[in-house]
Homo-oligomer: A and B are copies of this chain.
Amino acid sequence: MRPSNQGVAAGSPIGYSARLMKRSSSPKNALYAQSGGVSAVINASACGVIETARKHPGRIGKVYAGRHGIVGALTEDLIDTSRESAATIRALRHTPGGAFGSARYKLAGIAQNRAQYERLIEVFRAHDIGYFFYNGGNDSMDTAHKVSEIGAQLGYPIVCIGVPKTVDNDLALTDCCPGFGSAAKYVAVSTREAALDVASMARTSTKVFVLEVMGRHAGWIAAAGGLAGRGRGAAPHLILFPEIPFDQGRFLAKVKDSVESYGYCVIVVSEGVRDAAGKFLAEAGTRDSFGHTQLGGVGPVVAQMTQAAFGYKYHWAVADYLQRAGRHIASKVDVEQAYAVGKAAVQMALRGRNAVMPVIVRKYSKPYRWTIGEAPLAAVANQEKKVPRHFITSDGFGITAACRNYLLPLIGGEDYPPYAAGLPAYATIEGRGVARRLKQGFVL
């Protein structure tokens, strides 16, 4: 696959030997790819991967990035990150979204779609890629694990290291997931602020305020809303978790009690709340003109219930992407952990580890101390960590002290981006492509 050395002059044996040595020890390139829903700090992990790799030019060649993640890898659409300045890479640390593009594209099992995996190995081989850093959640860790297996089978061993990322905080074996702390901080701060607004107005206006947050299966982000206040009467007065089946009667009784006791009621609701039959509440909400339901809309659904029952004036907000892109209010701890797992992934690769993922290990909660550990991809893949029952109060509507102790360190510290003319100065990559080497394209 490599160009031959026939152009080397026979009369310069030292140069020839040096070139041969360089060639024979020529370090493999790396592929970095972002996967799934992005976060406020996934680019901080990219920054950690690229900056660390750049410190080891004798061990790792260029770092390529898949344009739109695994999609770019399959279609041989690679970005050459070595063409990006050090300043741009540094600025990724404070830039939300996925700077190289991410993808919702789950590779099927090897048995079902071997061609996809073979294509990946073909692209890796064509671009001399020996390291694969896959930055994502549960599905992505499964994919990275399979890639490491198939590479070995096809005689092209590839070092596959997962880089954990998910605002949902549902990855197994890591104490927390980079991306979550910043979403949690966004929701806790927003709940505290909106609650002050509602408390001001409740005497003559809005009595019920609902903030809908992400979390289709796990209620970690909703739980973070509980950090907004503490003690009797403090908002939020209710949290609705996907882990607790929704009971309309008990919900309404709690809302009524809150309004009558404190004058108002602030509710944080997870998009994934379901009734006892397992049906999403959001499905009772908006439908498009074809009658299709789309999740996102449980906020207005529960708000309207309170009006129907008691006539309360309500308002609702749906944070949607704002909560996972809100880099302006990122958690400093989260930014540091996101960078650290990117850095650790490269260090693990250099130590000869394979099919593993760096994880966050909590040493103490007060004061918060953490370190980086390691977990096998096979053990992480396709697991899902929900909010444990003992983190939720017995009535199902709040968080316990244990949950608070777990969550509070994760929103610790501020890490403001630089501003220019009133707006955060976020990085934009040049994104120059790597010349294609394969004749065949690939249809997704």
Chain B contacts of A201 at CB under 8 A? 37-38, 98, 102-104
Task: Specify the chain B residue showing the minimal Cβ separation from A101.
Answer: B200
Q: Is A348 an interface residue (CB 8 A)?
A: no
| Chain B contacts for A424, CB-based, 8 A | 189, 192-193
Q: Is A85 an interface residue (CB 8 A)?
A: no
Are A227 and B423 also in contact (CB < 8 A) when A102-B200, A200-B98 are? yes
Docked-complex contact B328 and A308, CB < 8 angstroms: no
Within 8 A of B (CB), among A358-417: 408, 411-414, 416
Which listed residue, B99, B102, B307, touches A288 by the CB 8 Å rule? B307
In this assembly, does A259 line the interface, its C-beta being within 8 Å of a C-beta of chain B?
no
Are B37's CB and A105's CB within 8 A? no
For residue A72, which residue of chain B has the nearest CB? B203
Nearest residue (CB) in B for A292 is B307
Stretch in A313-321, A349-357, A432-440 touching the partner: A313-321
> How many residues of A are in contact with the other chain, CB < 8 A?
80
Stretch from A125-133, A149-157, A169-177, A296-304 that touches the partner: A296-304
Question: When chains A and B are docked, how far (Å) is the Cα of A189 from the Cα of B327?
Answer: 10
Least CB distance, A218 to chain B, in whole angstroms: 19
Chain B residue nearest to A409 (CB atoms) is B422
Contact digits for A276-293, partner B, Cβ 8 Å, 1 yes 0 no: 000000000110111010
Chain B residues within 8 Å of A267, by CB: none
The residues of B that contact A199 with a CB separation of less than 8 Å are: 97, 101
In the assembled complex, the Cα of A104 lies from the Cα of B207 at a distance in Å of: 13
When distances are taken between beta carbons in the complex, the residues of chain B under 8 Å from A192 are 423-424, 426
B188 A327 Cβ-Cβ under 8 A: no
- For the complex, what is the distance from the CA of A199 to the CA of B100, rounded to whole Å? 10
Interface check A112, CB cutoff 8 A: no
- Tell me which residues across on chain B come within 8 A of A305, comparing CB atoms: 289
The answer to whether A321 and B68 touch (CB under 8 A), given A201-B38, A328-B189, is: no
Contacting residues, chain B, for A48 (C-beta < 8 A): none
**Shortest Cβ gap from A144 to chain B (Å):** 18
Residue in B102, B193, B300, B412 whose beta carbon sits within 8 Å of that of A96 in the complex: B193
A34 contacts B200, C-beta separation under 8 Å: yes
- Among A199, A209, A227, which residue has the most Cβ atoms of chain B within 10 A? A199
Bound-state CA distance A297–B327 (Å) is 26
A242 within 8 A of B: no
B residues in contact with A198, CB < 8 Å: 321
A196 at the interface (CB under 8 A from B): yes
What chain B residues lie within 8 Å of A190 (beta carbons)? 322, 325-326
Contacts of A38 in B (CB 8 A): 197, 200-201
A68 touches B203 (CB 8 A): yes
State whether B321 touches A315 (Cβ < 8 A). yes
Interface centre among A101, A308, A422 (most CB of B within 10 A): A422
**Cβ of A366 to closest chain B Cβ, rounded Å:** 10
Can you spell out 30 A-B residue pairs with CB atoms less than 8 angstroms apart?
Answer: A38-B201, A96-B193, A97-B196, A98-B201, A99-B200, A101-B199, A104-B205, A189-B328, A192-B424, A192-B426, A193-B322, A193-B325, A193-B424, A227-B422, A286-B300, A288-B307, A289-B304, A289-B305, A290-B308, A294-B307, A297-B300, A315-B321, A317-B318, A317-B319, A318-B318, A319-B322, A322-B322, A328-B329, A414-B416, A414-B419
